């Protein structure tokens, strides 16, 4: 086994949004960084945008998913993207900050649902990430919605104001959707307008202390009794096993990849997986239940292409950790034509989709299969996920509130198409290596370090103790940026 070594530096595993954000921070702090990426080259894709309507955009929801053993709800598919840029290749570009309540709300249910950090801890890192991502959208705070630092402020058209008014009266913000700023007309081969590989890693200055190793599929981490010393990976091109040593290791391999690596990193001290002293590793896995469809209105509204965002129902009116937010868009022009309303400026049909939350428990979890192996000979993951009735009810409540606001605005909404997705469809899962102040309820401390092996950090959505009903990518990047910043402080001071 050969050893690539940078004893002074940090190894980051994964080049998706979290790995790229962590690497960006480390490089800015001048920490030598090696980025291991399992994929070799981006998967071929084409993204066409015409007048802000996206066409030919490939999203992982249409794929068969990664091979794993599933149980719980039928039809679940789990996705990860083993390619440079990871799942940012399929990002819908929606950027929403979590709300301060999202970090504390779970306390109402049990202490195990409390985050070991607060909104204020993350705020500076939101600003940093928003700075290099570049956001277009609502510039002002609204109920339940802390606004991002936007590059281009946008508001909803005037004829949408009655809906916003009705929503506000019910304590819900209703505002222009916030997304990564991008061109109105665009043809790209990177799948989306922001890709953490193409638009962040590849644009680091050539002198940056970064080494990128592609085709490096990490199998496990090695523990010497005091600390983790090496990451062992399989070179996909040659099939040869290699190892790399470092002072610290940042796992950013995604919500399935990071728990897989830890579960597979067994030793005499940690027979159940690295740092898994309390059996928490793999448990509390959570997903965004997703549904959506089409709503027809009794009159046409000015076309909103990027979309409108209806914030979740107020915390005080919802059961703990159960809520959903809605995103609305006018139907694409091309579809409007097919449905006989060829107006360029207006449309009476809205496409809507919504994400909800769930209470993470130890029933929904990821674990390693005892028998089944993947193509590289590593154990397959087993994933168990079930959406309980209260989860579906929270989705329905949010939908009924949306229809209520549209009705109050005099638009007589009617649902004309509906779809309830199986687990995994949102590609917004996490929690299997969760943070908690106490090792009893979490694998990681408030700085994303393993309680039991502090030179290993997990910075992707695996670290989230609870999910919020918002697109997680912006927060994933902010959290990774913060963790890398704290790590840099530590490395500099020692």
SS3 of 243, please? Answer: strand
Alpha carbon 142 to its chain's center: 22
Determine the straight-line distance between the first and last CA of the chain, rounded to whole angstroms: 30
Q: Which stretch binds other proteins (CB under 8 A): 198-206, 220-228, 376-384, 409-417?
A: 409-417
Asked whether position 396 contacts other proteins by CB under 8 A, the answer is yes
- Interaction with other proteins in 420-439: which residues (CB under 8 A)? 420-422
Structure tokens belonging to residue 198: 């193409």
Size of the site for other proteins (CB under 8 A): 20
Residue placing its CB nearer to other proteins in the complex, 111 or 400 = 400
* Binding range to other proteins, per CB under 8 A, among 72-80, 132-140, 147-155, 308-316: 72-80
Q: Within 315-356, where are the H helices? A: 333-338
Smallest distance from other proteins to CB 420, Å: 3
Mask of contacts with other proteins, 232-261, x by CB under 8 A? ------------------------------
Binding of other proteins by 300 (CB under 8 A)? no
Nearer to other proteins, 14 or 356 (CB): 356
Question: Binding to other proteins by residue 74, rule CB under 8 A?
Answer: yes
Rounded least distance, CB 406 to other proteins, Å: 13
If one asks whether residue 399 binds other proteins (CB under 8 A), the answer comes out as yes
The helix/strand/coil state of 212 is strand
Closest C-alpha among 428, 424, 413 to residue 466: 428
Q: What share of the chain is helix, strand, coil (3-state, %, to 5)?
A: 25, 30, 45
Q: How far is the CB of 417 from other proteins (least distance, A)?
A: 7
Interacting residues with other proteins between 172 and 211 (CB under 8 A) = none
* Residue (224 or 317) nearer to other proteins, CB: 317
Convert residues 17-56 into a mask of x (bound to other proteins by CB under 8 A) and - (unbound).
----------------------------------------
Among 418, 440, 489, 492, binds other proteins (CB under 8 A): 418
Instruction: Give dist(CA 451, CA 468) in Å, integer.
Output: 24
Which helix (H) or strand (E) is 196 found in, with range? none
Determine contact, residues 463/116, Cβ cutoff 8 Å: no
Q: Which has the closest alpha carbon to 197: 46, 27, 14, 59?
A: 14
Q: How far is the CB of 59 from other proteins (least distance, A)?
A: 16
Give 376 or 415: the residue with its C-beta nearer to other proteins: 415
Instruction: Tell me if residue 395 falls in helix, strand or coil.
Output: helix
Q: How many CA atoms lie within 13 A of 86 on its CB side?
A: 31
Is residue 340 at the binding interface for other proteins, with CB under 8 A as the rule? no
Helices 473-493 and 17-28: angle between axes, nearest 10 degrees: 30
Scanning 143-292, the segments in alpha helix (DSSP H) are: 161-169, 254-264
Q: What is the largest CA-CA distance in the chain?
A: 70
Q: Does 392 bind other proteins (CB under 8 A)?
A: yes
Reported for 160-167, long-range contacts at CB under 8 A and 24+ positions apart, including other chains, are: 160/301, 160/302, 160/304, 160/308, 162/408, 162/409, 162/410, 163/308, 163/405, 163/406, 163/409, 163/411, 165/409, 166/404, 166/405, 166/406, 166/408, 166/409, 167/310, 167/311, 167/405
Report the nearest approach of other proteins to the CB of residue 249 (Å): 39
Residues 46, 414, 440, 489: which binds other proteins (CB under 8 A)? 414
Tell me: does residue 59 bind other proteins (CB under 8 A).
no
Is there binding between residue 374 and other proteins (CB under 8 A)?
no
User: Whose Cβ is closer to other proteins: residue 362's or residue 414's?
Assistant: 414
Residue 395 is a binding residue for other proteins (CB under 8 A): yes
Which of 291, 306, 311, 468 contacts other proteins by CB under 8 A?
291
Burial class (CB in 10 A: 0-12, 13-18, 19+), 342: exposed
Using CB under 8 A, pick the residue from 149, 299, 419, 440 that binds other proteins: 419
Quick one: 115 or 352, whose CB is closer to other proteins? 352
Calculate helix-pair angle for 119-133, 473-493, nearest 10 degrees. Answer: 110
Contact residue for other proteins among 75, 124, 131, 279 (CB under 8 A): 75
> Are β-strands 365-373 and 379-385 bridged in parallel, bridged antiparallel, or unpaired?
antiparallel
- Which residue number, 47 or 384, has a Cβ lying nearer to other proteins? 384
Decide: is 328 part of the binding site for other proteins (CB under 8 A): no
312 interacts with other proteins by CB under 8 A: no
Summarize as ranges the residues that interact with other proteins (CB under 8 A): 73-75, 291, 293, 389, 392-393, 395-396, 399, 414-422
């Amino acid at each position: 086994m050969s050893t690539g070594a940078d004893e002074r530096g940090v190894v980051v595993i994964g080049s998706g949004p979290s790995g790229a954000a962590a690497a960006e921070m480390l490089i800015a702090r001048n920490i030598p960084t090696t980025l291991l990426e399992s994929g070799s080259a981006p998967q071929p894709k084409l993204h066409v945008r015409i007048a802000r309507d996206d066409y030919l955009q490939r999203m992982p929801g249409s794929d068969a998913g990664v091979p794993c053993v599933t149980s719980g709800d039928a039809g679940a598919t789990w996705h990860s993207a083993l390619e440079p840029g990871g799942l940012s290749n399929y990002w819908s570009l929606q950027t929403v900050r979590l709300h301060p309540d999202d970090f504390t709300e779970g306390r109402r249910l049990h202490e195990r649902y409390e985050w070991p950090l607060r909104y204020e801890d993350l705020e500076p890192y939101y600003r940093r990430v928003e700075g290099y991502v570049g956001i277009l959208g609502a510039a002002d705070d609204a109920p339940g919605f802390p606004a991002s630092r936007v590059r281009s402020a946008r508001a909803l058209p005037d004829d949408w104001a009655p809906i916003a008014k009705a929503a506000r009266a019910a304590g819900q913000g209703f505002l222009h959707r916030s997304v990564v700023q991008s061109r109105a007309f665009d043809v790209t081969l990177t799948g989306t307008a922001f890709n953490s590989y193409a638009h962040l890693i590849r644009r680091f200055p050539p002198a940056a202390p970064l080494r990128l190793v592609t085709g490096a599929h990490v199998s496990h981490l090695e523990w010497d009794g005091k600390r983790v010393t090496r990451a062992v990976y399989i070179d996909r091109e040659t099939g040869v096993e290699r190892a790399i040593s470092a002072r610290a290791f940042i796992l950013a391999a995604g919500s399935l990849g990071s728990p897989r690596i830890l579960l597979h990193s067994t030793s005499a001290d940690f027979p159940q997986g690295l740092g898994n002293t309390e059996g928490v590793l793999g448990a509390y896995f959570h997903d965004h239940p997703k549904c959506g469809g089409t709503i027809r209105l009794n009159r046409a509204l000015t076309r909103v292409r990027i979309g409108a965002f209806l914030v979740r129902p107020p915390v005080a009116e919802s059961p703990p950790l159960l809520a959903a937010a809605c995103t609305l868009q006018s139907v694409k022009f091309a579809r409007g034509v097919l449905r006989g309303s060829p107006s360029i400026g207006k449309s009476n049909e809205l496409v809507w989709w919504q994400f909800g939350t769930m209470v993470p428990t130890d029933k929904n979890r990821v674990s390693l299969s005892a028998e089944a192996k993947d193509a590289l000979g590593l154990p397959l993951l087993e994933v168990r996920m079930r959406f309980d009735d209260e989860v579906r009810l929270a989705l329905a409540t949010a939908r009924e509130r949306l229809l209520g606001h549209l009705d109050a605005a005099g638009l007589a909404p009617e649902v004309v198409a509906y779809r309830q997705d199986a687990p995994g469809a949102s590609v917004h899962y996490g929690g299997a290596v969760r943070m908690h102040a106490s090792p009893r309820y979490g694998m990681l401390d408030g700085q994303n370090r393993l309680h039991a092996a502090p030179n290993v950090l997990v910075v992707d959505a695996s670290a989230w103790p609870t999910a919020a009903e918002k697109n997680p990518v912006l927060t994933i990047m902010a959290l990774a940026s913060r963790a890398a910043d704290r790590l840099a402080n530590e490395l500099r001071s020692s």
